[in-house]
Chains A and B, each alone.
Chain A
Amino acid sequence: MSHNIADVQVELKAKKIKPDSPWRSAFRRLFKNKMALAGMIVLTLMFLFSFIGPYFSSHLDAKISVRNANLPPNETHWLGTDKLGRDVLLRTMEAGRVSLLVGIVAASIIVLVGGTLGAIAGYYGRFVDSVIMRLADILYAIPTLPILVALGAILSDLKFPPDKRIYLVMFIVGMIAWMSLSRLVRSQVLSLKEQEFMLANEVLGLRDRRKIFRHLLPNTVPIIIVAATLGVANSILLESTLSFLGLGVVPPTPSWGQMISAANNMIDFQNRPWLWVPPGVCILLTVVSINFIGDGLRDAFDPKQKR
């Protein structure tokens, strides 16, 4: 009746059961979520539209010609022309590059800075916690606009190349928008610290850094993901508001926000929809799809998620 170990190992190998890493199963679950799928497709189209689209346009070297300004959509200009006679379709594509990159730059900073600082504040508590949280208080209260105005001037004194400036602006925007995420991560870490698995780590004598990044942060992944997707979405919207207030991208480089804000009087709004509909739809599709992907990621990533 006795079976020795060897046979058991043989049998196990025979069945070649691959251990299923959390990422692969998360990926599989992500693919099953139909909304997230749609989001990914639309977002990929947006990327192709923005980064590859322009090469197909026949108006690449078109000069500014006030003659055919504000033409409605016609066969040469599928989406009509803007106030300076430039092809709206081409501009929308080029604008996509700026808006998408701006969104991702700001969001990754929010996630990196906010998540880390939140976890550290939550984990160490007392002194470290109050310093980080008070810094967050101050930054939270300072209105972003004056900082951006001051920043604009400083950059001009330093002779910073104008077209790169929007990314630095977005870096700064990221640096002053991480507070709400850090606060959420901190509160999550505070309650997580009470649970047994952290006590178990304590017992194992793991280094603090490992405990924070390997154990605490992964458990805050759902909140981080929600914040990351909101971060990308809000950054794209913030860029458009900045353009509305004139602090966004420097003409002639276009961004979706700038194209919409160009049509901010009632007349363009009513009589020339082709000026603001394309960028508006682009922002809408991009932001909605990013949010769906974020949501899908949240469901897929959640270790406790039973589907």
Chain B
Amino acid sequence: MSSTLVEFRNLKTYFYTEAGVVQAVNDVSFSIRAGETVCIVGESGCGKSITAMSLMRLIASPPGKIVGGEILFEGRDLLKIKESEMRMIRGNEIAMIFQEPMTSLNPVLTVGDQIMEPLIEHTLLSKSEARKKAIQLIEQVGIPRADQIIDSYPHELSGGMRQRIMIAISLSCDPKLLIADEPTTALDVTIQAQILDLLRQLKKDRNMSLMLITHDLGVVAEMADYVVVMYAGKVIEEGPVKEIFKNPRHPYTKGLLLAKPVIGQRKERLFTIPGQVPNPIGLGENCHYSDRCEHAMDICRASQPALQKDGADSKVACWLYEGEGAK
């Protein structure tokens, strides 16, 4: 087992808004091993993007604030180091790509300019060397005529090509970890497959770890080595991808998997999980899934289940498996 690259320990990130305190990320712990692809899965609003942004320390304060926990990157707690040191890590050792390629690139600067920036900033390459490296990167992400593309503007490229440019930008300084926040959600399926293949290929070539945030179980199945399922700001289950898909433990994970259409099984109605994601403001001490879970017991509505080891490399946070009534 390769060494742990990133370890989240009881991370708490709250947002202080007019309507009250939103506990977006509430006591989250998990780790990412070097060279491994960890997928963070959950409905929108469960805190998966906030977790990533907390890792990058890009939470806008006000109104957001990281109130507790640690994020260890190669043993260093990123929450304690000075902003200037953090800035050296961003884009250099940890890189990030976003969901919306159409608006993630600066419309008034050439694509090449935006690729060269991190190079010039972090690797102190000269302009001409940076330009050569940028052309290499554009070719690596699979875009033809790289030498022309480098001088073109974002609005002249398609959505897929822009996402490739984003990837080129993120890989410019050979980061150890690449965070991809729903990289393919905004793209159509064919492009989505190409981008995922590209990411898998690049991860293998560079032995880079990948933290992939998505709500699409298809992507998880295809890419993930390890899966972390989040719900209402908490991790409710994690484990190797085969375990999670073959033997889901937490009722919410089961619900998610059932909701996925399976080829060959014709059904007149897809399964839906009743109820809605709870309002993030004023979450009680109960298991947040209790009011939607059919196995909900009194204990569930009273207190929160802790995240317990459950099998070789999996964990689950549910009173069903709390040793009490293990079915």
Chain A residues with CB under 8 Å of chain B are: 1-3, 7-8, 11, 32, 194, 196, 306-307
Given contacts A1-B271, A2-B269, A7-B274, contact A196 B17 (CB under 8 A): no
Determine whether the beta carbon of B18 is less than 8 Å from that of A3.
no
Which residues of A sit under 8 angstroms from B121, Cβ to Cβ?
none
CB of A174, distance to nearest CB on chain B (Å): 35
Q: Once bound together, how far apart are the Cα atoms of A283 and B313, in whole Å?
A: 73
Determine whether the beta carbon of A32 is less than 8 Å from that of B18.
yes
CB of B1, distance to nearest CB on chain A (Å): 38
Q: Identify whether the interface residues of A are mostly helix, strand, loop, or mixed.
A: loop
Please, could you name 18 A-B residue pairs with CB atoms under 8 Å apart, sorted by A?
A1-B271, A1-B294, A2-B269, A2-B271, A3-B272, A3-B274, A7-B274, A8-B272, A8-B274, A11-B274, A11-B275, A32-B18, A194-B155, A196-B102, A306-B63, A307-B17, A307-B18, A307-B63
The 10 A-B pairs with the shortest beta carbon distances in the complex, nearest first, are: A3-B274, A32-B18, A307-B18, A196-B102, A194-B155, A8-B274, A3-B272, A1-B294, A307-B17, A11-B275
Which residues of A sit under 8 angstroms from B272, Cβ to Cβ?
3, 8
0 or 1 for each of B263-276: is its CB under 8 Å from A? (1 = yes): 00000010110110
Q: Once bound together, how far apart are the Cα atoms of A8 and B272, in whole Å?
A: 10
CB of B297, distance to nearest CB on chain A (Å): 17
Q: Once bound together, how far apart are the Cα atoms of A307 and B17, in whole Å?
A: 7
Interface residues of B in 249-269 (CB under 8 A from A): 269
* Interface size, chain B (Cβ < 8 Å): 11
Interface residues of B in 13-59 (CB under 8 A from A): 17-18
Q: Taking CB as reference atom, which chain B residue is nearest A4?
A: B269
Q: Taking CB as reference atom, which chain A residue is nearest B269?
A: A2
Q: Once bound together, how far apart are the Cα atoms of A301 and B269, in whole Å?
A: 41
Q: Once bound together, how far apart are the Cα atoms of A307 and B19, in whole Å?
A: 10
CB of B293, distance to nearest CB on chain A (Å): 12
Q: Once bound together, how far apart are the Cα atoms of A194 and B271, in whole Å?
A: 40
CB of A192, distance to nearest CB on chain B (Å): 13
CB of A194, distance to nearest CB on chain B (Å): 7
Q: Once bound together, how far apart are the Cα atoms of A51 and B18, in whole Å?
A: 37
Q: Taking CB as reference atom, which chain B residue is nearest A196?
A: B102
Chain B residues with CB under 8 Å of chain A are: 17-18, 63, 102, 155, 269, 271-272, 274-275, 294
Q: Once bound together, how far apart are the Cα atoms of A11 and B271, in whole Å?
A: 18
What is the total of A-B residue contacts with beta carbons within 8 Å?
Answer: 18
CB of A258, distance to nearest CB on chain B (Å): 45
Q: Once bound together, how far apart are the Cα atoms of A11 and B273, in whole Å?
A: 13
Q: Taking CB as reference atom, which chain B residue is nearest A191?
A: B107
Q: Once bound together, how far apart are the Cα atoms of A11 and B275, in whole Å?
A: 8
Q: Once bound together, how far apart are the Cα atoms of A206 and B270, in whole Å?
A: 34
CB of B8, distance to nearest CB on chain A (Å): 25
Which residues of B sit under 8 angstroms from A8, Cβ to Cβ?
272, 274
Q: Once bound together, how far apart are the Cα atoms of A11 and B17, in whole Å?
A: 28
Q: Once bound together, how far apart are the Cα atoms of A8 and B274, in whole Å?
A: 7
Which residues of B sit under 8 angstroms from A7, Cβ to Cβ?
274
Which residues of A sit under 8 angstroms from B63, Cβ to Cβ?
306-307
Which residues of A sit under 8 angstroms from B17, Cβ to Cβ?
307
Q: Once bound together, how far apart are the Cα atoms of A7 and B292, in whole Å?
A: 13
Q: Taking CB as reference atom, which chain A residue is nearest B63?
A: A307
CB of B39, distance to nearest CB on chain A (Å): 26
Which residues of B sit under 8 angstroms from A306, Cβ to Cβ?
63
Q: Taking CB as reference atom, which chain B residue is nearest A3?
A: B274
Which residues of B sit under 8 angstroms from A196, Cβ to Cβ?
102
Which residues of A sit under 8 angstroms from B294, Cβ to Cβ?
1
Q: Once bound together, how far apart are the Cα atoms of A306 and B271, in whole Å?
A: 35
Q: Once bound together, how far apart are the Cα atoms of A196 and B155, in whole Å?
A: 11
Q: Once bound together, how far apart are the Cα atoms of A306 and B102, in whole Å?
A: 21
Q: Once bound together, how far apart are the Cα atoms of A77 and B223, in whole Å?
A: 85
CB of B159, distance to nearest CB on chain A (Å): 10
Q: Once bound together, how far apart are the Cα atoms of A32 and B275, in whole Å?
A: 32
Q: Once bound together, how far apart are the Cα atoms of A32 and B17, in whole Å?
A: 12
CB of B326, distance to nearest CB on chain A (Å): 21
Q: Once bound together, how far apart are the Cα atoms of A194 and B156, in whole Å?
A: 12
Q: Once bound together, how far apart are the Cα atoms of A3 and B269, in whole Å?
A: 10
Q: Taking CB as reference atom, which chain A residue is nearest B294?
A: A1
CB of B109, distance to nearest CB on chain A (Å): 16
CB of A264, distance to nearest CB on chain B (Å): 48
Q: Once bound together, how far apart are the Cα atoms of A194 and B274, in whole Å?
A: 40
Which residues of B sit under 8 angstroms from A32, Cβ to Cβ?
18
CB of A2, distance to nearest CB on chain B (Å): 7
Which residues of B sit under 8 angstroms from A11, Cβ to Cβ?
274-275
CB of B3, distance to nearest CB on chain A (Å): 39
CB of A21, distance to nearest CB on chain B (Å): 17
Which residues of B sit under 8 angstroms from A307, Cβ to Cβ?
17-18, 63
Q: Taking CB as reference atom, which chain A residue is nearest B273?
A: A3
CB of A191, distance to nearest CB on chain B (Å): 9
Q: Taking CB as reference atom, which chain B residue is nearest A12?
A: B276
Q: Taking CB as reference atom, which chain B residue is nearest A307?
A: B18
Q: Once bound together, how far apart are the Cα atoms of A194 and B17, in whole Å?
A: 33
Which residues of A sit under 8 angstroms from B18, Cβ to Cβ?
32, 307
CB of B81, distance to nearest CB on chain A (Å): 27
CB of B74, distance to nearest CB on chain A (Å): 33
Q: Once bound together, how far apart are the Cα atoms of A3 and B271, in whole Å?
A: 8
